[in-house]
Amino acid sequence: MSQLAASGVGLLLALSVLGIFAARRALGTRLVYAACAAVCAALAGVALLGLLAPGAGLESVEIPVGLPLGRTVLGLDPLSAAFAVIVNLAAAIVSGYAIGYGAHAREPLRVVPFYPAFIAGMNLVLLAQDAFSFLVGWELMSLASWALVLSEHRAAENRHAALVYLIMASGGALTLLLAFGLLAGPHGGYSFEAIRRVSSAGVGPIVLLLALLGAGSKAGLVPLHAWLPLAHPAAPSHVSALMSAVMTKVAVYGFVRLVFDLAGPPAWWWSVPVLLIAAVTALLGVLYALMEHDLKRLLAYHTVENIGIIFIGLGLALAFEASGMRAAAALAFAAAIFHVFNHSLFKSLLFMGSGAVLNATGERDMEHLGGLIKAMPVTAVAFLAGCIAISALPPFNGFVSEWLTFQAILLSPQLPQWVARLLVPAVGATLACSAALAAACFVKAFGMSFLGRPRTKAASAAAETDRFSQIAMLLLALLCLLAGILPGFVLDSLGAVTQLAVGERLAPQSAQAWMRIVPVDIHRSAYSGLFVFVMILLAAAATAFVVRRVASHALRRSPAWDCGFPDASPATQYTAGSFAQPIRRVFGSVVFRAREAVAMPKPGDTAVARLQVELHDTVWDALYAPIIRLVAATAERLNRMQFLTIRNYLTLVFAALVALLIIVGTWR
């Protein structure tokens, strides 16, 4: 299995080179994306076989390339196999979507060669069994995705987004390098097997901090999330889907690998910073998303929210494992990994839907959309399925993983530490609030984009997307539904992963009646997605029967309700800004420093009132803006050194030599 997976990475790198020549023709572009889809599907199949039969064919592969006089070790274990399934399943479907969508790229030469390299980098991170190959894969993933963000480089905002992303990615890689250095110890054994044999009790807390910084910056934990709402809208939509739904999960894998596998047994207080950061991330992510009118920025902020949900599960798993509650730790960890899988599906679907809308209308601003359900019915249905899934509504998959997380939260009174017993319920309340706000946000996203009347000529002229994109979106919608009504099979497949991470696994779930899942005890909680789905179908069928048999068939046409303003202009419709106004007035002054200004027409004037809203990213203003100003001011002063005279340069060189002699002499 490991050899096949390593060969798949090699094929993707070969496709990257081939893409330089193939991108010059539309057919070549389609063939590269089709080949990527085939390779990723094969990698997902290989990883799934390794996950369901752990130990069978998972021997490591050694490649004579690495640190000086060293070798690179690649291989699959249950943890990497689970994430490889998640990464490559989503990448295969997104690549199928790109066969149609990618043909519309403005500059395919800036996209096609880097796309397979991006996927290869993510797989290399998952296959790595030593720190060297892990960091090489991490850098390949980062640099390839940076090039993809910069593909439409003529726009100034895209160049800014790429610069911010590159800086954040470089800082994250540096912290991961430091973490591996601490874990390797003075003997410098960089293979994961050697690291596990070294006692890391003294450096574990520092490794946790470095993992939160390094992996958290790539995943999008607050306050390290600044690059997501910039980079995701800048990249092509199929790349945005991979970055948001897949690359952030590779970052989650990096955190899990470092903290749960290599850093040794955790202390209970490790969970405190993880839970605090995760709760703030979930709440701020959804609040920022609610304020957004740009569809892709909205989805980017919702990635921040979902990363917070995942880390809530991981924080709970740390607390339970350190307290000896292995079964509860397995539940929390399984909920986190299940949400990783779910988010990879519905976030890929939503970004693909936004890409279809962007391709059809040229617009990302929801205030310029509307009425697309008539022109783009397939996209609308698929996007609606993604909205239901991400809003955690049954019977789709998002509900199951969040419900499992709540079940783990309800076990927190059994924790022996009073700090954890007080903190976890507060985190649970924050999670419940973010879940409710997420549902409101996607009512806005779907309603403003697909319902009502078209607000612009571009929305009126929209047409359905290509067949490849439609099939890919419907396939993802179907997978979201299947994972929601048959969650027991997913949980059972994660048994070996939870065993590796926390030393315990959930009881078998797929054999229960009605395919229900019983995470703790049948008398305490159980859920059957299949039963809920059947009841929904029966209720819909009964409603349709009653309407057809009982309701009057007389047809009466009348004008739509005009809210007392008889104007056919689409400007009289509810807007995204007005939808978010109640929530903005509750949270806006604290979170966004929001200011509203209303331009009211004069009495008797039938013009529409105009509302202007000013919002601020408080995290950016408080953390990043001062650093930017400091760097700019320092660079401005240092820039003067380029214009010194030769005498000034000689003086500086002489002073530097004297300083070095003094330092060396003092040291001796």
Residue 23 binned pLDDT confidence (cut-offs 50, 70, 90): confident
In the prediction, which pLDDT does 390 show?
A: 94
pLDDT at 7 exceeding the cut of 60: yes
Burial class of residue 54 (count of CB atoms within 10 Å of its CB; 0-12, 13-18, 19+): middle
Q: Name which of 223, 192, 226, 501 is nearest 340 in CA terms.
A: 501
pLDDT at 570 exceeding the cut of 90: no
CA dihedral 342, 343, 345, 349 (to 10 degrees): 140
**Rounded Cα distance, 541 and 550, in Å:** 14
Q: Name which of 431, 298, 434, 420 is nearest 366 in CA terms.
A: 298
Task: Take residue 48 and report the two structure tokens written for it.
Answer: 């799934």
In the prediction, which pLDDT does 475 show?
A: 95
Is residue 415 in a domain?
no
Q: Name which of 13, 285, 222 is nearest 124 in CA terms.
A: 13
Residue-wise pLDDT tens digits, 324-338:
899 999 999 999 999
Phi, psi dihedrals of residue 527, rounded to the nearest 5°: -145, 135
DSSP state of 365: B
Query: What region does 62 belong to: left with phi over 0, alpha with psi -120 to 50, or beta?
Result: beta
Residue 280 binned pLDDT confidence (cut-offs 50, 70, 90): very high
Determine the residue type at 609.
Answer: A
**Strand runs labelled E in 141-238:** none
- Residues 276, 409 contacting (CB under 8 angstroms): no
- Residues 281, 221 contacting (CB under 8 angstroms): yes
Task: Take residue 549 and report the two structure tokens written for it.
Answer: 């048999």
What residues have CB less than 8 Å from 174, skipping those under 6 apart?
214
Average pLDDT over residues 623-634: 85
Rounded to the nearest angstrom, the gap between the alpha carbon of residue 377 and the centroid of all alpha carbons in its chain is: 26
- Residues 100, 469 contacting (CB under 8 angstroms): yes
Cα dist from 435 to 299, 306, 405, 633, whole Å: 15, 10, 12, 42
Range in 233-242, 435-444, 491-500, 591-600 the model is least confident about: 591-600
Whats the size of the chain, residue-wise?
668
Is residue 492 in a domain?
no
Rounded-to-5 percentages of helix, strand, coil across the chain: 70, 5, 25
Is residue 110 in a domain?
yes
- Residues 427, 277 contacting (CB under 8 angstroms): no
Tokens 């590269």 correspond to what residue? 32
In the prediction, which pLDDT does 566 show?
A: 62
pLDDT at 246 exceeding the cut of 90: yes
pLDDT at 71 exceeding the cut of 80: no
Average pLDDT over residues 123-147: 92
Average pLDDT over residues 495-506: 90
Domain that holds residue 228: 1-238
Average pLDDT over residues 181-209: 82
Q: Tell me which of 534 and 102 has the higher pLDDT.
A: 534
**Rounded Cα distance, 501 and 504, in Å:** 8
In the prediction, which pLDDT does 484 show?
A: 93
In the prediction, which pLDDT does 195 show?
A: 86
Residue-wise pLDDT tens digits, 36-66:
999 999 999 999 988 887 665 567 777 776 6
Is residue 204 in a domain?
yes
Is residue 338 in a domain?
no
In the prediction, which pLDDT does 248 show?
A: 94
Is residue 72 in a domain?
yes
* Secondary structure (3-state) at 369: coil
Q: Tell me which H or E stretch contains 228.
A: helix 228-234
Residue 567 binned pLDDT confidence (cut-offs 50, 70, 90): low
Range in 158-167, 235-244, 546-555 the model is least confident about: 546-555
Helices assigned H by DSSP within 525-613: 529-550, 576-587
Residue 636 binned pLDDT confidence (cut-offs 50, 70, 90): confident
Dihedral sign (CA 335, 338, 342, 348): positive
**Rounded Cα distance, 527 and 195, in Å:** 41
In the prediction, which pLDDT does 565 show?
A: 60
The vertex-373 CA angle with 370 and 374, nearest 5°, equals 105
Q: Tell me which of 442 and 600 has the higher pLDDT.
A: 442
Residue-wise pLDDT tens digits, 148-187:
998 888 888 888 899 999 999 999 999 999 999 898 877 7
Residue-wise pLDDT tens digits, 351-398:
999 999 998 998 888 888 888 999 999 999 999 999 999 999 989 999
**Rounded Cα distance, 295 and 300, in Å:** 9
What are 130's strand-pairing partners?
A: 191
pLDDT at 600 exceeding the cut of 80: no
Number of compact structural domains in the chain: 1
**Rounded Cα distance, 503 and 499, in Å:** 4
In the prediction, which pLDDT does 455 show?
A: 86
Burial class of residue 64 (count of CB atoms within 10 Å of its CB; 0-12, 13-18, 19+): exposed
Determine the residue type at 252.
Answer: V
**Rounded Cα distance, 606 and 668, in Å:** 86
pLDDT at 438 exceeding the cut of 60: yes
Task: Take residue 614 and report the two structure tokens written for it.
Answer: 């000013």
Q: Tell me which of 59 and 249 has the higher pLDDT.
A: 249
pLDDT at 556 exceeding the cut of 80: no
Query: What region does 241 belong to: left with phi over 0, alpha with psi -120 to 50, or beta?
Result: alpha
Is residue 135 in a domain?
yes
In the prediction, which pLDDT does 67 show?
A: 61
pLDDT at 448 exceeding the cut of 60: yes
**Greatest pairwise CA separation for the chain in angstroms:** 102
Q: Above pLDDT 70, what percent of the chain? A: 93
Buried/exposed code over 149-186 (b: 16+ C-beta within 10 A; e: otherwise):
bbbbeeeeebeebbebbbbbbeebbebbbbbbebbbbe
**Rounded Cα distance, 417 and 181, in Å:** 32
In the prediction, which pLDDT does 53 show?
A: 77
H helix count then E strand count, the chain: 27, 4
Dihedral sign (CA 81, 83, 85, 87): negative
Is residue 297 in a domain?
no
For the chain, the average pLDDT equals 87
